[in-house]
Amino acid sequence: MKWYDKNKPYLLVGPAILMTLLLVGYGLLMVFIESILSSGSLSLEIYRTLLSDEIFQSSFLFSLRIVVVSTLLSLGIGFVLVRSAFPVLKRSFPRLISWLPMLFPHFVWGYMLYLLFSQTGLFSTIFNGLGIIALPGDFPNLFMDSAGLGIMITYIWKGVPFVILMLLPVYEQLSHSQKQLVFTLGGKKGAVFRYVEWPYVFPVLLETFFIIFSFVLAAYEVPALLGATYPKMISVLSYDWFFGTNWEKQPYAYATMVIVTTFIVFFVSILSFITRRSRKHLYQNQNDGKKIESIGHFSNFSFLNIAFLSLLPTLFLFLSSFVSKWEYGMILPKTISIQGWRVLFLEQPYLLEAILTSIGIILLALLLNVIIGIPAANALAFYEFKGKATIDTLLLSPLFVPVLAVAMGIHLTFIRLGIANRWIGVVLIHLILTLPYTIRILRAGFERVGKKQGELAVSLGAKPFKAFYLIYLPQLLPSLRSVVFIVTVVSLSQYFVTALIGGGNVLTLPLLYFPFFQSVDQSIMASFSLIFAIVPVGIWVIIELVLKILLPKKFG
């Protein structure tokens, strides 16, 4: 019993650590081994060749420019909007409006922006109708251009809601008494920001920066759909080398992913080291439980901007799904039709299979996330143990490691184990992509509830599981709903890893969506895009019904 009590935290986080090491650690190891065995013997020659290759160099620098601009602008815009609109965003409905873009995968949101800002899109059409431009070519080319403007616009538009999601809890917990103390001592608003806000905001901004930076640098789907043929993002270049007809180029894909992973880890480590003292301040402050009621004077105006940015693409996508033909120069369509929906559901025999497969994978990944994530989050929230900081970093590592590298590394192993080209392989790779979010969300939920209620129940004779079921589970419902949302959206966003691990045999919505992008009319694509928002709602209904059955009756 003493051994169990002493090692309980390690037992709770053990499954999460095991999954991370087996999938992420082993995947990275295998991709490195494959890269240095390209010539049949151990050699780093491929790295020397790759680093001197002009195509690789231009691709890497192009990717880095897009990543830095997208990440910094996302953080800056999101930070300003949260500070100014916080009093409004405290309410549930405005908050949901601000998070609406997160409901759609990045590549779907990119298509939605393409409908608005392409040379034949809505704004070009409006300008033509108003006589400002004469031809589509007179409108700026923002997509599939050599500057990557469409890629950056998509990542910024999607990144801002994520920044809002990350920063809102911080502003909800800021100390009102500390603010008043600064004013009492003669400080101005700048001093309040410096001493009350920034120590709490900076660590979250830094973490958000790492997540967005790592994601954009290694993401494949958006640059594949909206990028130019040259220069290519580094992820697209790796994909072409990996799946190309020239098998001699495949080791270059492995080596590229090793270089990208090394760069991300090195960059994150250096930046973390430089800012470590600034981040410590957050943990040395104690919140008094009071909230700052008002930050900024333009809350309503800022929220209107958020609502406009969230609703415009969504409403136009919805309208486009009911328009069979929208001629250029027409500000409004002449007719409304359900042809797009009819063709999609009646003439696409694989759509239902893709929907059901996607839902099945999401539910299995969600189940594993909850089973593994709850014990790990509990240990990280309630226990102090040796190596906790290292374990916490390890469990977050999938957010900073290119998923392409992990998928390439474990692909051959999955084939040998017989789980490639099958559901289980896809579920496992989706699990490792979502587990860090689950642990982080549930850990915050446990910390919000506190440890005392559970200890009191156990001291009164309740078994640990009964204490969790009656006390923690009902109070973790908001966190569990957030987990459902994150797991669903992230799973529906995976094209490359699903195509690689599933081998084309596991047909999900993203795999069916990509070939449609430039091969069917706008109404069908718009209808298909909306399915990516409908599926999460359907899953949410399923989960709510399950929770109603499982929860104690007074909470159901």
Domain interval for residue 382: 341-555
pLDDT, residue 178, reads: 65
**Helix ranges (DSSP H) in 37-148:** 45-51, 54-89, 92-99, 106-117, 122-129
Let me know whether 383 and 324 are in one domain.
no
233 domain residue, yes or no? yes
d(CA 231, CA 54): 11
Do 174 and 316 sit in the same domain of this protein? yes
Residues 327 and 416 in one domain: no
Query: Do residues 472 and 493 both lie within one domain?
Result: yes
Residue 409 and residue 312 in one domain: no
CATH of the domain at 389: 1.10.3720.10
- Residue-wise pLDDT tens digits, 205-253: 888 998 899 999 989 999 998 988 888 999 999 988 988 777 788 889 9
Is 289 a member of any domain?
Answer: no
Residue 338 Cα to chain centre, angstroms: 32
69-107 pLDDT, tens digit per residue, is 999 999 999 999 988 888 888 888 888 898 899 989 999
Q: pTM, whole model, 2 decimals?
A: 0.88
360 and 321, same domain (yes or no): no
Residue at 138 is within a domain? yes
> What whole-number distance in Å separates Cα of residue 43 and Cα of residue 36?
5
321 shares its domain with 350 = no
Distance of CA 456 to the CA centre of its chain: 37
Question: Does pLDDT of 336 surpass 80?
Answer: yes
The more confidently predicted of residues 276 and 501 is 501
Query: 501 in a domain, yes or no?
Result: yes
SS3 250: helix
d(CA 483, CA 542): 14
Same domain, 326 and 359: no
For 154-204, write each residue's pLDDT tens digit.
999 999 999 998 888 887 777 666 666 565 656 666 666 776 777 888 888
* Same domain assignment for residues 83 and 143: yes
Q: Are 148 and 247 found together in one domain?
A: yes
Q: Are residues 417 and 278 part of one domain?
A: no
Count how many domains the chain has: 2
Please indicate, yes or no, whether residues 71 and 147 belong to a single structural domain of this protein: yes
- Asked, for residue 164, whether it belongs to a domain, the answer is yes
- Enumerate long-range contacts of 317-323, CB under 8 Å, 24 or more apart: 317/112, 317/115, 317/526, 317/529, 317/530, 318/526, 318/530, 320/115, 320/522, 320/523, 320/526, 321/523, 321/526, 321/527, 321/529, 321/530, 322/523, 323/522, 323/523
Residue 433 belongs to a domain:
yes
> What pLDDT sits at residue 331?
73
In this predicted structure, the answer to whether residue 2 has a pLDDT above a threshold of 70 is no
Q: Of 468, 286, 487, 460, which Cα lies nearest the Cα of 377?
A: 468
Residue 288 lies in a domain: no
- With tokens 């601009």, the residue in question is 69
pLDDT, position 55: 92
CB-based contacts of 376, cutoff 8 Å, min separation 6: 12, 13, 15, 16, 395, 439
